[in-house]
Amino acid sequence: MHNAAFAALGLDWRYLAFEVNPKNLRAAIEGAKAMNFAGLNLTVPHKLLAVEMVDMLDESAKTWGAVNTIRFDKKGAIGFNTDADALTQSLREDLKLELRGAKVLLLGAGGAARTAALKLASEKVAELFVVNRTQSKAEKIAGETKKQFPSVIVSTGFPKAKVDLILNATSLGLKTDDSSPLDEKQFSLKEARAVYDMIYRPAETKLLVAAKKSGCKTANGLGMLLHQGAKAFEIWTGKPAPLDVMRRALEQNVYGH
């Protein structure tokens, strides 16, 4: 999506992927700076590690405690987070969801779930239920969210009543033979108005197929991926991102059509 956007704007820039061992992350960031890269994106497991390795943190990275975008400029390496805003933008666009006052069941307690919990709380959802395979991690996220946003009711475990949104932030569903991340014996999809799966490949996870059958509004994580990319593009280039071009390129690359 970035290369398509550079081409559309006539920028002679390139977006390339590098696999970096976490123990070499600091050297990789320094190396990119030395070679006059405009910036970087980082993904698992680098987003938390990079917080300690940049010269400055933008407000977004300070607030969400993770860096997925770096810009190199005169001041050095500046760390940003574009994931959090991208998630809520996609929830609003793709599900037409009103977040303020909503009740949300969050599945997962990894990096993406943590950002989601804090961001949803900052948007003043009414209640947040965190469910994760490893209970201690769900408790840690719930505790952190409650501390930062005391007005939001945060608990671990399944809700006892209807929710406006189930948000899958686990990696269960990435593989086609994965089971659904939601145990329907514990919570029925009939009790949810909408289901968002952060996974975008496959386009329809088992969770989304079942959610559709139950009459829920559904969306996958492509919109989140698009918007975190578009925001990073704007941070690097200072120009408005050509969203339609980026969306088309993403769909073509991810789904092949």
Q: Hey, which residues are catalytic here?
A: 47
**Residue 33 vs 232, nearer CB to ligand NDP:** 232
String of DSSP letters for 53-102: TSSEE-HHHHHHS--SEEEEETTEEEEE--HHHHHHHHHHHHH----TT-
CA–CA dist 114, 131 (Å, integer): 12
**Residue 5 vs 33, nearer CB to ligand NDP:** 5
Question: Per rule CB under 6 A, is residue 199 in the interface with ligand NDP?
Answer: yes
Please check whether residue 134 is in contact with residue 114, taking contact to mean a CB–CB distance below 8 angstroms: no
Determine the residue type at 250. L
**Residue 134 vs 252, nearer CB to ligand NDP:** 134
- Answer for which of 27, 44, 153, 209 binds ligand NDP (CB under 6 A) is 44
Please check whether residue 75 is in contact with residue 149, taking contact to mean a CB–CB distance below 8 angstroms: no
Question: Per rule CB under 6 A, is residue 157 in the interface with ligand NDP?
Answer: no
Site track for ligand NDP across 69-98, x = CB under 6 A: --------------x---------------
Q: Helical H runs in 105-221?
A: 111-122, 135-148, 206-213
C-beta atoms surrounding 193 within 10 Å: 16
Please check whether residue 190 is in contact with residue 198, taking contact to mean a CB–CB distance below 8 angstroms: no
Interface size with ligand NDP, residues (CB under 6 A) = 24
Report the site for ligand NDP in 205-234 (rule: CB under 6 A): 221, 224-225, 228
String of DSSP letters for 91-134: HHHHH----TT-EEEEE--SHHHHHHHHHHHHTT-SEEEEE-SS
CA–CA dist 61, 48 (Å, integer): 10
Question: Per rule CB under 6 A, is residue 170 in the interface with ligand NDP?
Answer: yes
Question: Per rule CB under 6 A, is residue 174 in the interface with ligand NDP?
Answer: yes
**Residue 5 vs 172, nearer CB to ligand NDP:** 172
Select the residue whose beta carbon is closest to ligand NDP and give its number.
110
Site track for ligand NDP across 120-139, x = CB under 6 A: ------------xxx--x--
Question: Per rule CB under 6 A, is residue 140 in the interface with ligand NDP?
Answer: no
Residue 166: CB minimum distance to ligand NDP, A: 14
Please check whether residue 110 is in contact with residue 172, taking contact to mean a CB–CB distance below 8 angstroms: no
- Answer for which of 64, 200, 233, 236 binds ligand NDP (CB under 6 A) is 200
**Using CB under 6 A as the criterion, which residues of the chain lie in contact with ligand NDP when the complex forms?**
44, 83, 108-113, 132-134, 137, 169-172, 174, 198-200, 221, 224-225, 228
